[in-house]
Structure 1
Amino acid sequence: MTTSSIYRHEYYVEKRTGSFADNLVTFGLAYILDSIADRQARVTIKDAGPHFTVSCEPPLQANRVTNCQFFTGAFMLITLDRKTKQKLIKGTDIPIANVAAMPGIAPDYEQAKENNAQYWEWRKRVGNQWKHLPPPVEPHPDWELFRAINPSALQANNSAAAEWWRGRAIFAELLKVVLMYASQLPNDEVGAARYWIEVCKQNNLRPKKKITASQLTNPTQGKGIANTKAVFARPDNLEQFWLIEYLKWVGLRWAGFTRLIKNSKDRKVYVLAPHHLDWKHHLEIRERFHTLMIGSGGAIQLDALVALHYTKAMLDYVHVAQQDSLLNSLFGSSHGVNKAVYGLDSAYYKDLGQSAAMMNIARIGLPTWVQPQQPADIARYEAVLDEHIRIVRSLDENKGEEYELLRLYRDFLSASDLYALLAFTDAYAGFVIQRDKLAPQLTVQNLEVIMSSLAPPLSKITQSRGFRNLAYAIRMATVEAHRRNLKRNQGKYNISYEVRYGLGQELLRKAAYRNEFIIALSEFIHDYNAENARKRERQERESGNDRPRGSRSDVSIHDIDDILALMDEYGDPQMIASLLVAYGYASTYQRDETYAGLEETDESVSVDDSDVQDIEEEE
């Protein structure tokens, strides 16, 4: 390939590994194109099936490369040698003094560790006032990445960043190597490597041909045998062309996210899976996302939180910008959040002491039911995401039932399917009232936002008068009755009712068979109305008031007729039962004025509005 043909509109990255390693190379390439253009071009990443396309508009020109000043998207990490007690850039022969005057090239791990510890100690000391006070020191924005790199991937990272740094004397030629690699399909790795070696010889430089491929950026590779033929191979580290590894480290910094699993030293790494993503939009969203992702969590809990928080960061970006064109660019008219990003590819690394083993790779999808059509929709979807984040954070993955709830919720989040949602709401319904304090509830209003995106025809069911009245009856016999019995609410009402703890599970068990479900529902209605009648009679006898504060409305014949008609029309008693339980165990937050006669009481969610998050740093 001639060097003149590398200045173009589109560049390519093959999908070679089937893992997020390909994503990392793509984001690394996008960073370099954006830097060459001095952020004056529009750089866009697009998933083209067997490869990624990174476009640059206007196309790169030769003078941009020739006149480009040195930059780097990755870093070498200065660490402390435990034996000599001296600081060094491990894996390289570069003296610290040579990079000391170049900000961002080689951050000090020990200093970043100290700053991070001081910051979190200050957060714990000042409590909730931290938002209104200036911190004594800010933690380094890449601190979590520092911890992921040191010690197991330290030499691999430093070696790649050092090779890029050594090329600063012939930086234009180094940039040409990147462009040469990505200017054709299949990617010209051999030609790019040969050109770089030749240029280095002409300038009396000694380049490295290959470096170790770290498993942190290559989750499907690592120490082991990787030959395609049945020949003997030593179980040594795998090596690759250094420039490709460098692009992965750049991509990990600018498109990756990592956290330790709560109460362990296991680690999860997430990398964006782009669909059609503008680089400038990506940087804005990334900054908001990292701000939102405070604290740690369990493995499944983190999966759910990264998807929810990333989606919220996108909504927040659109909300602040207040541009219809940006809304359409990120969400489109029907794609929802997947128009820009499919989700996040993840890898789970099990701590083995001195090293870590990759245990699992997966993709967590973004909630495709987030489909804002206009700026006014943003607040509705943000309210839904906030509610789900509160619920996910309240669950403890180390407890069997709550682990299963998180697993069901993650399935729904990735599938964005009605029945996956109902599987979660079915299981969560019984959990809500099992504790001395009500767990965070789903709300009717936010359920309807999701339903309108997942299955718009279901609005005929959920807006039915009979459906609403029966859901109200279930709510008043379960979560509302339980809420009134809590110590902080005792004495607030003139009347209290029996708590039907297993009602939701009973209805769902019977829902597989239409007749059995109707019998179970009828028995509940009979008991519910009978209890109402007894309470009214007692109140009238004792105080002369048959409608005291906190009394409930009966289920009417018309309500039963409505629900039976819906079952006849839809022919799916399980779906209707699940919807009834979901709405019945959800909160309304306010009086439902839509249907006269339903005297809903104060149903504010009984959780701490501060929604305290886990902000403890895990050492």
Structure 2
Amino acid sequence: MIKSLLVGKQFGTYADTFLMLGLALLVEYALQKTQQTAQIQLIDEGTHYRIQFKKPVNLEPIAQLSYANPFPPVCGQKTDRSKLPPETPIFDVVEQGEIRKLYREYLYQNHGRGETGEDTPKPPHPSTQNGAILTSMRHDKNHNELWLQGWEQRDNYGALLTSILQAFSEDTHSTLKPESERVADLFQQATGSQLPPPASAVKVYLPTAVQGVNRVKADGNKFDSQKTDWLSLWLIANGLFTLGVSERVKISDRTYDWRVTALEPKDIPLTKYREVLDHLRQYNPPGSGHGVARFDAELVLKFCQSLLNYHQAKANSPDEDEFEIWEPVNYFVSGFTGTHFGQKGQVYGVKEVFSLGLPGWIQPSNAKELIDYQLVLNEHLAVISSLSTEDGHSELLAAYRDFITGNNIRKFFPFQVSYADYVIKRLADPKARHPRLFSVFGLNLMTQKEFSQITTDPSFLRLAKAINQATVFAGKVQTKNGLIELDWQRNYGLAQQLSSQSGSKKDFICAVTDFLAKYEHENLRLSERLHGTEKRLMRVWPRKEDLDRLIELVEKFDTVLVANLLIAYGYAKWKKSEEAEAVELSTDEETDKGASEDE
């Protein structure tokens, strides 16, 4: 009886993850076919992965299993199919690609909403792009050879499965032999046959393998490609095809590269892992036509959406207590590891090996917050979807990616400072589309765990609202009823000024004081104009106590943090309820109507 399997991390790339996933999928099939409890937990324990079974596994019925395809052969237009058995079902990349293309066009026409109905096209297979990269990089031949060699073991398939389970079992983990050698020995003892010979370590499976220059033979100038044991490559092929996330990403006008990523499990059931990943790949795929940085950012944001969707369904189910859903998103999975394959003429080479983290600030604690975080994710997606490398937003997208793929919320601020400058430029251009703004509601949710002492302070909010009314809600503003011109002009460059002075407490306070002096002078001018009328000035009036309180906050927290939060809230989207509650603004009916229209 086997309680768990241990899978060592021998490659240092996503190959380790795919090998473990391929093994977990294989074992899950065996448990289901033998009617054993198939609940499997994937756990990352640092130097190795643990595949934990809910109940011990009985090997006897598994030894009697007949062959079943762990993954299908992949065929494109030019794939050689002569060696494949005629009755074998194949994965047709061309056919599946057309289905995916049709569904992506449907999503685009419906602004990303995948509604169900009679006219809704069939969603694509989750592994469509994994098959596409194999044919694009001409590795379909290697993939199919691995499948064929596994198929040739069909008469001893049960023995192969039991040998794998025994070799990876925790009980035999202390032996010095690698798992693949232990499997080969056990398989030979059980059947008298040998496993297939080592196969070529192509770069899509092992990105760090050196192809064609592994060793030089002493008696000639021939170079042999690097080889790896068949079992490891077979398991990696299974994991990559079934659970990989591959996409062809636009780099420039005529250049497209491939990015292949593996979702790194931390402590998550296999069924949940697969369901969330399938939802992401089928119904909510990241866009790939606007550069690498935006693709990475969308990948992380949309994965978080899919995970929260799963949690929302579980929160409404009667067995909610069985699921740990009130944890940060990076509690279940740690992020993505991947490889970027750069196009070099007709071939692709490994350009970089990378990793993407997940935002730890997404941590719902109840059913309402699940919905709230979904709204915030939609807001962030709307912002980055308005940016693209073609329009010169590469630096903005790179800064946002650094934030969303990390676990430090402070990385949001460098992006926000630059984005604030972008927002003001867009607002100043009457022909430009209105820029997307982060909301105060969303910022509150993002910062509530760490910075609520600052962001809920009434003086801080009054100062932030003053910045907002001097920059975003100033000059000519677009409302639902068209363009209107307010009585005060827009302040340009304030975000950059406050950010540049935040290195010194004295310089920062001087910069804020200078801004407030000009702001108050403008308020007095406007008040004089409205004197004797029934109208009242729809602008916040910061007080001396607010500046004193800001100095206290700067003394208690660091200056850079307070400055960045002021900029973030100052250039955000405020609602009337937030204004009334936090800033206590007084407005007349006419101006209040204009403010609500601007929202």
Q: Name the aligned partner's letter for residue 568 of structure 2.
A: A
Give the counterpart of 1:507 among 498, 502, 505. 498
Q: Name the aligned partner's letter for residue 352 of structure 1.
A: K
Work out whether residues 331 and 338 of structure 1, in 8 Å CA contact, stay in contact via their aligned partners in 2: no
Q: SS of 1:9's equivalent? A: strand
Deviation, 1:251, is 0.9
Deviation digits for residues 398-437 of structure 1, max 9, x if unmatched?
455x222222222222332243122222222211221233
Give the counterpart of 1:276 among 259, 262, 267. 267
Structure 2 residue 460 is matched with structure 1 residue 467: yes
The two structures have a TM-score, normalised by structure 1, of: 0.84
Deviation, 1:42, is 1.4
Structure 2 residue 158 is matched with structure 1 residue 172: yes
**1:312-327 alignment, distance < 5 Å:** 312-322=305-315
Structure 2 residue 369 is matched with structure 1 residue 377: yes
Q: For the structure 1 residues 483 and 218, does the alpha-carbon distance in structure 2 shift closer, same or farther, using more than 3 Å as the test?
A: farther
**Partners in 2 of 1:141 and 1:605 — Cα distance?**
42
Structure 2 residue 548 is matched with structure 1 residue 561: yes
Q: Name the aligned partner's letter for residue 172 of structure 1.
A: G
**1:377-526 alignment, distance < 5 Å:** 377-400=369-392, 402-435=393-426, 436-453=432-449, 455=450, 458-481=451-474, 484=477, 489-491=482-484, 495-526=486-517
**1:174-213 alignment, distance < 5 Å:** 174-183=160-169, 184-185=172-173, 187-196=178-187, 208-213=196-201
Deviation, 1:256, is 1.3
Number of residues paired by the alignment? 572
Work out whether residues 324 and 374 of structure 1, in 8 Å CA contact, stay in contact via their aligned partners in 2: no
Deviation digits for residues 202-230 of structure 1, max 9, x if unmatched?
6xxx9631222221121111414456999
Work out whether residues 329 and 359 of structure 2, in 8 Å CA contact, stay in contact via their aligned partners in 1: yes
Deviation digits for residues 509-540 of structure 1, max 9, x if unmatched?
12222222222211211111221222232244
| 1:28 match | 22
Q: SS of 1:411's equivalent? A: helix
Q: Name the aligned partner's letter for residue 362 of structure 2.
A: V
Deviation digits for residues 551-590 of structure 1, max 9, x if unmatched?
31322222222212222333x2222111111110011233
**1:102-251 alignment, distance < 5 Å:** 105-119=89-103, 131=115, 132-135=117-120, 138-151=123-136, 152-183=138-169, 184-185=172-173, 187-196=178-187, 208-226=196-214, 235-251=223-239
Q: Name the aligned partner's letter for residue 119 of structure 2.
A: P
Q: Name the aligned partner's letter for residue 106 of structure 1.
A: I
The two structures have a TM-score, normalised by structure 2, of: 0.87
Q: For the structure 1 residues 45 and 117, does the alpha-carbon distance in structure 2 shift closer, same or farther, using more than 3 Å as the test?
A: closer
Q: Name the aligned partner's letter for residue 49 of structure 1.
A: G
Structure 2 residue 46 is matched with structure 1 residue 49: yes
**Partners in 2 of 1:222 and 1:328 — Cα distance?**
46
Structure 2 residue 298 is matched with structure 1 residue 305: yes
**Partners in 2 of 1:13 and 1:23 — Cα distance?**
9
Q: For the structure 1 residues 603 and 233, does the alpha-carbon distance in structure 2 shift closer, same or farther, using more than 3 Å as the test?
A: farther
Q: For the structure 1 residues 545 and 236, does the alpha-carbon distance in structure 2 shift closer, same or farther, using more than 3 Å as the test?
A: farther
Q: SS of 1:73's equivalent? A: coil
Deviation, 1:382, is 1.5
Structure 2 residue 333 is matched with structure 1 residue 348: no
**Partners in 1 of 2:297 and 2:105 — Cα distance?**
28
**Partners in 1 of 2:527 and 2:100 — Cα distance?**
61
Q: SS of 1:381's equivalent? A: helix
Deviation, 1:130, is 7.5
Deviation, 1:313, is 1.2
Q: SS of 1:531's equivalent? A: helix
| 1:547 match | 536
**1:352-367 alignment, distance < 5 Å:** 352-367=344-359
**1:46-125 alignment, distance < 5 Å:** 46-81=43-78, 88-89=80-81, 93-95=83-85, 97-99=86-88, 105-119=89-103
| 1:612 match | none
Q: SS of 1:300's equivalent? A: helix
**Partners in 2 of 1:501 and 1:466 — Cα distance?**
23
Q: SS of 2:67's equivalent? A: coil
Q: Name the aligned partner's letter for residue 425 of structure 2.
A: Q
Deviation digits for residues 343-364 of structure 1, max 9, x if unmatched?
0101110012332111111110
Q: SS of 1:59's equivalent? A: strand
Q: SS of 1:10's equivalent? A: strand
Deviation, 1:248, is 0.7
Q: SS of 1:53's equivalent? A: strand
Unaligned runs of 5+ in 1: 1-6, 82-86, 100-104, 608-619
Deviation, 1:599, is 4.3
Deviation, 1:108, is 2.2
Deviation digits for residues 278-322 of structure 1, max 9, x if unmatched?
111112212222221153242111211111111221111010121
Q: SS of 2:349's equivalent? A: strand
Work out whether residues 5 and 50 of structure 2, in 8 Å CA contact, stay in contact via their aligned partners in 1: yes
**Partners in 2 of 1:127 and 1:293 — Cα distance?**
13
**Partners in 2 of 1:422 and 1:504 — Cα distance?**
11
Q: Name the aligned partner's letter for residue 17 of structure 1.
A: F
Q: SS of 2:50's equivalent? A: strand
**Partners in 1 of 2:334 and 2:112 — Cα distance?**
35
Moved more, 339-348 or 37-46: 37-46
Deviation, 1:337, is 1.8
**Partners in 2 of 1:312 and 1:122 — Cα distance?**
20
**Partners in 1 of 2:454 and 2:410 — Cα distance?**
15
Q: SS of 1:553's equivalent? A: coil
**Partners in 2 of 1:139 and 1:73 — Cα distance?**
20
Q: For the structure 1 residues 303 and 536, does the alpha-carbon distance in structure 2 shift closer, same or farther, using more than 3 Å as the test?
A: same
Deviation, 1:133, is 4.8
Deviation, 1:606, is 7.7
**Partners in 2 of 1:44 and 1:197 — Cα distance?**
30
Deviation, 1:27, is 0.5
Deviation, 1:80, is 3.2
Give the counterpart of 2:571 among 578, 585, 601. 585
Deviation digits for residues 454-496 of structure 1, max 9, x if unmatched?
x2xx3222111111001001001111115616896424x6x43
Q: For the structure 1 residues 413 and 226, does the alpha-carbon distance in structure 2 shift closer, same or farther, using more than 3 Å as the test?
A: farther
Q: For the structure 1 residues 489 and 174, does the alpha-carbon distance in structure 2 shift closer, same or farther, using more than 3 Å as the test?
A: same
Superposed CA RMSD in Å reads 3.1
Deviation, 1:199, is 6.5
Q: For the structure 1 residues 229 and 568, does the alpha-carbon distance in structure 2 shift closer, same or farther, using more than 3 Å as the test?
A: farther
Q: For the structure 1 residues 419 and 116, does the alpha-carbon distance in structure 2 shift closer, same or farther, using more than 3 Å as the test?
A: closer
Q: SS of 1:434's equivalent? A: helix
Deviation, 1:26, is 0.4
Identity %: 24
Q: Name the aligned partner's letter for residue 157 of structure 2.
A: F
**Partners in 2 of 1:179 and 1:490 — Cα distance?**
69
**Partners in 1 of 2:318 and 2:219 — Cα distance?**
59
**Partners in 2 of 1:127 and 1:337 — Cα distance?**
26
Q: SS of 1:432's equivalent? A: helix
Q: For the structure 1 residues 552 and 306, does the alpha-carbon distance in structure 2 shift closer, same or farther, using more than 3 Å as the test?
A: same
Q: Name the aligned partner's letter for residue 87 of structure 2.
A: N
Q: SS of 2:57's equivalent? A: coil
